[in-house]
Structure 1
């Protein structure tokens, strides 16, 4: 089972809110669009994994996690537990991989994205274009991003008018 931390990177532009999508390039898998993020390492905090994965995959540093994540850390007798409230949590119940993930809405510092061995083609898309692409060609997104986009785009209509 995979446990992931992913980010919906948002920024305000003249055309409204834009989000960053990237092309995922993994061996023996089709190239698809996705949001940055990846596997949480053993005993790594969810938030630390989020910051690390976004930096590794985009070259950008998160400066704000949006919303009240209610982060609490508990430590006692050699254990530490992180509790928090992400924007969205998912678990695949059928599909190519068994995974659980934590999704956060974030802002990043201004800067240029960088290419790495697993992702490239970073592009900021306004919400209208993103929704149109998702509605007309959902298969261009990886299966996790399809589920997340379904939730996120509905949430945006209610909460970011």
Structure 2
């Protein structure tokens, strides 16, 4: 079975430039608690955007107000099916590991107040992209095996695009 996931790279302009939300993953069946991006598994026939909004709210308390790429969404409605096509920020596929999964990362913005704890999450916080990059370079922060590639992809994009 393959799991389909959505992840939010929630951005805001902070006092030290662009900030994103990270959180610690806390699951009873897992030994360590790495950081991750908000998001999770889609429910059966749930749209990318609805799943992203639901997961982000459950885990962080935030309400998504903008999803970059949302304007690209096209839906087809046929007699026995509906299909959506969208342009995410990035997609991932696990090619080895404990779970076979496929997912989409979406850059987004949100409002609200961060929860102290969320659905299987804690230490939910805003962090400046510059500070995050330094922590990763110094190997002082650990990300979940899935989100490590998403964070590195985002940082590469952020520093080559200079979109602040």
**TM-score with structure 2 setting the length:** 0.92
The worse-fitting range, judged by mean Cα deviation, of 47-56 and 107-116 is 107-116
Corresponding residue SS for 1:89:
strand
Aligned pairs for 1:1-80 within 5 A = 1-29=2-30, 30-67=32-69, 70-80=72-82
| Matched-pair contact (CA < 8 Å) for 1:71–1:85 | yes
Rounded to whole Å, the distance in 1 between the matches of 2:42 and 2:102 is 10
> In terms of mean alpha carbon deviation, does 59-68 or 77-86 score higher?
59-68
How far did residue 128 of structure 1 move?
Answer: 1.1
Offset at residue 109 of structure 1 (A): 1.0
Change (3 A) 1:36 1:67: same
CA distance in 2 between counterparts of 1:22 and 1:94 reads 24
Aligned residue in 1 for 2:86: 84
Gap regions ≥5 residues in structure 2? none
RMSD, matched Cα: 1.5
CA contact (8 A) 2:20 2:128 kept: yes
Q: 1:139 & 1:122 partners in 2: Cα distance?
A: 14
Q: Is the 8 A contact 2:135 2:141 kept in 1?
A: no
Q: Provide the TM-score with structure 1 as the length reference.
A: 0.94
Q: Between Structure 1 and Structure 2, how many residues are aligned?
A: 161
* C-alpha displacement of 1:117: 4.1
Aligned equivalents of 2:6, 2:44: Cα separation in 1: 13
Q: Deviations over 1:118-157 (max 9, x none)?
A: 0011111101110111222276110111111111111001
Q: Secondary structure at the match of 2:46?
A: coil
Structure 1 runs of 4+ with >3 Å offset: none
